Amino acid sequence: MQPSADSCEACTPGMDVMRSGHTACPGCGQAISMRLVLRAIGAKAIVVTVPSCVSVIAGPFPYAVANVPYYHAAFEVAAASAAGISNALKIQEKQDIPVLAFAGDGGTFDIGLQSLSGAADRNEDFIYVCYDNEGYMNTGIQVSSATPTHAWTGTTPTGNTRRKKQIMEIMAAHRIPYAATASIGFPEDLMQKIQKARDIRGTRFIHLLSPCNTGWKIPENMAPKVSTLAVETNIFPLYEITDGLHYQINYMSKGLPVEEYLSVQGRYAHLTPEQIKSIQTETDRAWRDLKQKSGGQS
């Protein structure tokens, strides 16, 4: 399915919940993520964030960039905090108000994984958006378990030797009703997924690729472009998992060589031809695996 702008009500201009004046870096992929997600969920939602660049984007007290009730929880408890709100809303008979947790890859893959797993196990009622910039960018670019193999960070100066943790598989294993990947390179698809998630009850998870220009060493006008290349090279395919079992690929990529994605990013500047080849091999394997899981459907 090719996402279409016509079918997306939130894509209409003038629907922004996020106001101007955010304090992120110019061209920040994360600020774009936040703008699109909030536009899709609408102003009648409660947002939970944790320490990350989101707290920078939000602006310093008493300024507030997002026109929604907004709770800045502790690093590892986005999910538990969102669950506390959604249960309290239930006893106040206000369960129609969506609760959105917004955490980075560090707050999701690493320090927040226990809290997220607990909440997903209980099928707590919230949408969890993990904006994944593949490292601890707010503290100045350190490796996380979402950092891809071979990528440079401040704590992997010769390249990351670990593999990127498969967070979608982990979430699927909890059998949550809805999990989806999204990319700011495909904004309509992203917003449609947020709106689809809004109409489902239980734990809903969006894995959103969201480049950090500084950490990825790309020019400040490149975040959407690189996010598109991630999808088109199958590094980051767009798909959904329903009830942890049913996979559906949302976009059949052009299947471009991974080198087109890697070569535009300074964090991969040191790669050898062998390393690029091994990334290509692993990307092809994962794509075949995903196609098989989706029963060849797209």
Partner 1 sequence: MKQFITGNHSVAEAARRCRPGIVAAYPITPQTPIYEKLSEMEASGELGGIMMRMESEHSSMAACISASLTGARTFTATSSQGLALMHEMLHFASGARTAIVMACVNRTLALPWAFWSDQTDTLSQRDTGWMQIYVEHNQEALDSVIQAFRIAEQVLLPCMVVLEANFISHFMEPVDVPSQEDVDSFLPEVNLPRRFDIDNPSYVAGVVSQSQYRDFKQLSQEAMYVAQETAEKVDQEFGSFFGRSYGLVEAQDLADAELVLVTSATITSTARVALRQLREKDHKIGLVKIRLFRPFPTEHVRKLLDPVSKIAVIDRNISLGREGIFCAEVKAALCNSPVKKQIQGYLAGIGGTDVDVDLIQRIVLDALSRDAFLDRPIWMKEE
Q: Which is nearer to partner 1, 124 or 232 (CB)?
A: 124
Span between the terminal Cα atoms of the chain, in Å: 6
Question: Which of 67, 263 has the CB closer to partner 1?
Answer: 67
SS3 273: helix
- Please report how close the Cβ of residue 80 comes to partner 1 at its closest, in angstroms: 4
Report the nearest approach of partner 1 to the CB of residue 87 (Å).
5
Q: Determine if 48 is a binding residue for partner 1 (CB under 8 A).
A: yes
Fill in the amino acid letter for 290: L
Structure-token match 């939000």, residue found? 58
Q: Is 171 in the site for partner 1 (CB under 8 A)?
A: no
Rounded to 5 degrees, φ, ψ at 246 are -100, 115
For partner 1, the closer of residues 119 and 191 by Cβ is 119
Selected range binding partner 1 among 45-53, 149-157, 210-218, 264-272, rule: CB under 8 A? 45-53
Min separation Cβ 73 and partner 1, Å: 7
Taking the complex as a whole, the smallest distance from the CB of residue 106 to partner 1 amounts, in Å, to 16
Of 205 and 236, nearer to partner 1 (C-beta) is 205
> Is 252 an interacting residue with respect to partner 1 (CB under 8 A)?
no
Binding mask of the shown chain, residues 90 to 129, with x at each position contacting partner 1 by CB under 8 A: xxx----x----------------xx-xxx-xx-------
The nearest distance, CB 173 to partner 1, in angstroms, is 15
Considering the rule CB under 8 A, would residue 294 count as an interface residue with partner 1? no
| Per CB under 8 A, 61 contacts partner 1 | yes
Looking up tokens 């999910």, which residue turns up? 79
Q: Which range of residues in 68-76, 244-252, 257-265, 289-297 is near partner 1 by CB under 8 A?
A: 68-76
Return the residue of 13, 14, 21, 62 that touches partner 1, per CB under 8 A: 62
Q: Tell the smallest beta-carbon distance from residue 99 to partner 1 (Å).
A: 9
DSSP for 38-54, written as a single string:
HHHH-SS-EEEE-SSHH
CB-count exposure of residue 74 (10 Å: 0-12, 13-18, 19+): middle
**Which residues are 163's β-sheet partners?**
none
Is 64 near partner 1 (CB under 8 A)?
yes
Separation of alpha carbons 111 and 43, rounded Å: 29
Q: Residue 161 contacts by C-beta under 8 Å, 6 or more apart in sequence?
A: 149
Residue 124 CB, nearest approach to partner 1 (Å): 8
Query: In the bound complex, what is the minimum distance in angstroms from residue 60's beta carbon to partner 1?
Result: 5
d(CA 121, CA 205): 13
Letter string b/e over residues 215-254, b meaning 16 or more CB atoms within 10 A of that residue's CB: bbbbeeebbbebbbbbbbbbbbbbbbbeebeebbbbbebe
**Interface with partner 1, residue 196, by CB under 8 A:** no
- Characterize 109-121 residue by residue with b for buried, 16 or more Cβ atoms within 10 angstroms of its Cβ, and e for exposed: bbbbbebbeebbe
Say whether residue 20 binds partner 1 (CB under 8 A): no
φ, ψ for residue 29, nearest 5 deg:
-65, -30
Q: Which residues bind partner 1 (CB under 8 A)?
A: 43-46, 48, 55-56, 58-64, 66-74, 76-77, 79-85, 87-92, 97, 114-115, 117-119, 121-122
